Amino acid sequence: MISVNEMRALEINSSALGVPTLLLMENAGRSVKDEIIKRIDVNGKLVYVYVGHGGKGGDGLVAARHLAGEGAKVTVILLGENKHEDALFNQNAIEEMDYSINLIRIKDVSELKPISADVLIDAMLGTGFSGRPREPFRTAIKVFNESKGFKVSIDVPSGLDADTGNVYDDEYVKPDLVITFHDVKTGLAKHNFNVVVKKIGIPPEAQIYVGPGDVIVNIKSRPFTAKKGDNGRVLVIGGSYTFSGAPTLAAMAALRTGADLVYVAAPEETAKIIAGYSPDLISIKLQGKNISPDNLNELKPWIDKSDVVIIGPGMGLSEETVEASKLIVSYLKEKRKPAVIDADALKAISGFELYDKVVITPHAGEFKIFFGEEPSKNIRERIEQVINNARKCKCVVLLKGFVDVISNGVEFKLNKTGNPGMTVGGSGDTLTGIVGTLMAQKLDPFKAAYIGVFVNSLAGSLAYNKLGAHLTPTDILIEIPNVLNNPLEAFKKKVYKRVIT
């Protein structure tokens, strides 16, 4: 089964991969024709197509064209103005087919009357519909149901919520056949309709690889009524006597991704340095030269007030810090706090059983330390390793590499939008900041991980296009908003990697 948002993301990803939605619409409409002529010889028969707004209306127009080509006497009933670009393209074709197709524009619901035909096609309300049908569709649905003939609904019956399956009384089409595309919609599965699933040419890679559709569908525009804190409070625990840059990069990436408040908890002298990098960060000064078990009580109030905790960047592996990492992660687990565990903290807790609100972001070496096995160079074997180990540790694993592999132990995603310049130190820290913020903004950890690595890598590719292999992590920071504001445009500038053979 598939949700409306998942289907929309696939269509956008498909288009980004070079298979445009106009072609998908053509395949959809033709498949409707194919299924109908399997059941009815339409040559010389009466076919009525009720066309609404949006993509479903366009599918109906394509079906009408193909059925006319099979010799059917086709009447298209237009229920208002369609502004969908692909549907308008097909409507223009229908308007030129004035010999084989009768086109009727409904201007008032009183013009809608029950009819008798051989085939009636419902191309009115599609997967974007929810709630109760409004006019002219309410009357059109009633008239459609009262008409005589073999009734076919495209994708979902009009009046049915494609996600929930909810309907209002008799205000939905009751078809003899539903022809749905790519996969059964979740709401459709809740009814006992006669359903046929047709593939329409969406490439498997549109689902396997993270794409711009995943960003567009899952990252919502910020409402004007938003207030401070609504878009995430992120706590970064990191830094040491030696390292101050890593936690700063993670924190700055969190801000660039859209977190409202970002706290950086670091040893006192390091925290002062971090505060000097940017006035945008809230610096928490912990006692001591390195993070130690003594800092846990200092950290607890900040952990409790944050939506997500990032732990590990620049922490180091001193004996006291390793012990502190174990204690902090145990506290996070006790509180079931959403968290991103990376770098030194990940090495410190090798072998821990985690929980389903955690994302870990190892590179190959850290993966070997944490799980006790080296990632395979064969990408398909590597995918299986990530899935199996994500299941064992009960968390999301984001294995960074030439191709990034992400899994929650059940599903997996791949990302290949990176570039050779991202071997620079600090690019993993920007990644943790992005993933952490997406989790703070209530994306589930699996989505936050695969969308986060896509955004980070694509921002890196925008920087790479300008600077080549001379980019720095701060260049990635600058490009994060450009990816989030226009993922499709950014995707066109990616650095391609062809790796699976």
Residue list, annotated binding site? 122, 126-132, 155, 158, 246, 314, 363, 428-429
Distance CA 67, CA 441 (A): 48
Residue 228 three-state SS? coil
Binding-site positions for K(+) read 122, 158
Binding-site positions for AMP read 428
Binding-site positions for (6S)-NADPHX read 126-132, 155, 246, 314, 363, 429
Residue 479: CB partners within 8 Å, gap ≥ 6?
458, 459, 460, 462, 463, 490
Question: Contact at 8 Å (CB) between 77 and 104?
Answer: yes
What is the distance of C-alpha 182 from the center of its chain?
17
What is the distance of C-alpha 410 from the center of its chain?
17
Compute how many other C-beta atoms are within 10 angstroms of the C-beta atom of residue 492: 10
Identify which of 265, 248, 359 has the alpha carbon closest to the alpha carbon of residue 306. Answer: 265
End-to-end CA distance of the chain: 29
The structure tokens listed for 165 are 């399956």
C-alpha distances in Å from residue 313, one per residue of 112, 186, 208, 236, 341: 66, 41, 29, 8, 9
Residue 96: CB partners within 8 Å, gap ≥ 6?
none
Distance CA 286, CA 164 (A): 49
168 phi and psi angles, rounded to 5 deg: -110, 110
DSSP state at residue 255: H
Compute how many other C-beta atoms are within 10 angstroms of the C-beta atom of residue 282: 16
Distance CA 498, CA 485 (A): 27
- Answer positive or negative: Cα dihedral of 5, 8, 14, 17: negative
- Return the amino acid letter for 59: D
The structure tokens listed for 322 are 């390793």
Specify whether the backbone of 18 is left (phi greater than 0), alpha (psi in -120 to 50) or beta: left
Distance CA 144, CA 167 (A): 16
Residue 463: CB partners within 8 Å, gap ≥ 6?
421, 471, 475, 476, 478, 479
The structure tokens listed for 467 are 């600077």
The structure tokens listed for 1 are 């089964």
- Return the amino acid letter for 462: L
